[in-house]
Amino acid sequence: MKIFCAALLLGLTAFCKARSVRESLCRSRASEAYYAGDFDAAQKYFEQVLVDQPDNTDCLRGLGDSFYAQKNYEQALFYYEQALKPVDSNQDKRELYFNVGCAQAQLRDFAAALKSFERVIELDNTHERAKKNRDILKKLLEEQQKQQQDKKNQNNQDNKQQNDKQKESDQQENKNNENQEKNQDKSEQKKQQKPEDQQNKSQEKKKDDQAHKQQQPEQQNKNGQQKQAPHEQQQSVKESDRKPEEKLGRDMLKLLQQVDKLDQQGQHLYVQAVAGQQANQKRSEHDW
């Protein structure tokens, strides 16, 4: 019995030593792969250690660093937060909160990242990197809030413009409907007025026709009188023309005969005068 117990104790000791050696070997290889830049290999070695030691803070943190280096920030944040649970020392908490804040900032969760860096500053007021990140995050949050407010204002303005356009379209539609109703009413009124207007027009036309028929005989009489007037004037003119001829009669003939005689005498005297002038010209030809 004593021999069996001694053998069991030796076996357990050897197993523990072998396990410890294997874990140490995996951790060593994981660290070498991480610093060599082979983050995928480092991830695998850290996972092998966590199979036997799920609360190993160093391996959880190393696994988070491996995912962070591969830009898998969600998995990195998960393992950083898992590593924080069993930690008691302020120094380890400070480093892990800093890593948590970096992963949250990469995921653009600026409010949560700001709280993580402020927690680091609470643990260590001399942590300059945490202070720098805190100031940057405050500016980013201000810009983010400003952008959100601008976006909200723009959405409100767009909604207002859309509502105004909708109101205008509704008003225009109402006006169009009113105009259509008015036009329909007018068309109905016109339809009702047409028979009355036609009757009035027909009555007025009848009256005009009757008045025209009454005026036609009067115009014909006037036209007849107007046509007779020029004929009578012509007859009176001809009669006046004939009366002077009759008055002249024989006296006129006598006067005409006397004019002929005087014309003959005048021609004779003119011939004598011309002959005398020619004689005078011949006599005065050498007197110049």
pLDDT for the residue numbered 173: 87
pLDDT for the residue numbered 77: 97
Neighbour tally for 52: CB within 10 Å: 13
Residues 134, 121: contact at Cβ < 8 Å?
Answer: yes
Residue with tokens 């120094």: 91
Can you list the domains of the chain with their CATH numbers?
21-86 (1.25.40.10), 87-160 (1.25.40.10)
Residue-wise DSSP of 169-184: HHHHHHHHHHHHHHHH
pLDDT for the residue numbered 212: 64
pLDDT for the residue numbered 117: 96
pLDDT for the residue numbered 93: 94
Query: How large is the C-alpha radius of gyration of the chain?
Result: 70
Alpha helices in the chain (DSSP H): 2-35, 39-52, 57-69, 73-84, 90-106, 110-123, 128-283
pLDDT below 70 — which residues of the chain?
1-20, 190, 192-202, 211-249, 263, 266-288
Residue-wise DSSP of 127-162: -HHHHHHHHHHHHHHHHHHHHHHHHHHHHHHHHHHH
Neighbour tally for 133: CB within 10 Å: 22
pTM score above 0.75: no
- Of 124, 120, 144, 148, nearest to 134 (Cα)? 120
Residue-wise DSSP of 14-30: HHHHHHHHHHHHHHHHH
pLDDT > 90: percent of the chain: 36
pLDDT for the residue numbered 16: 43
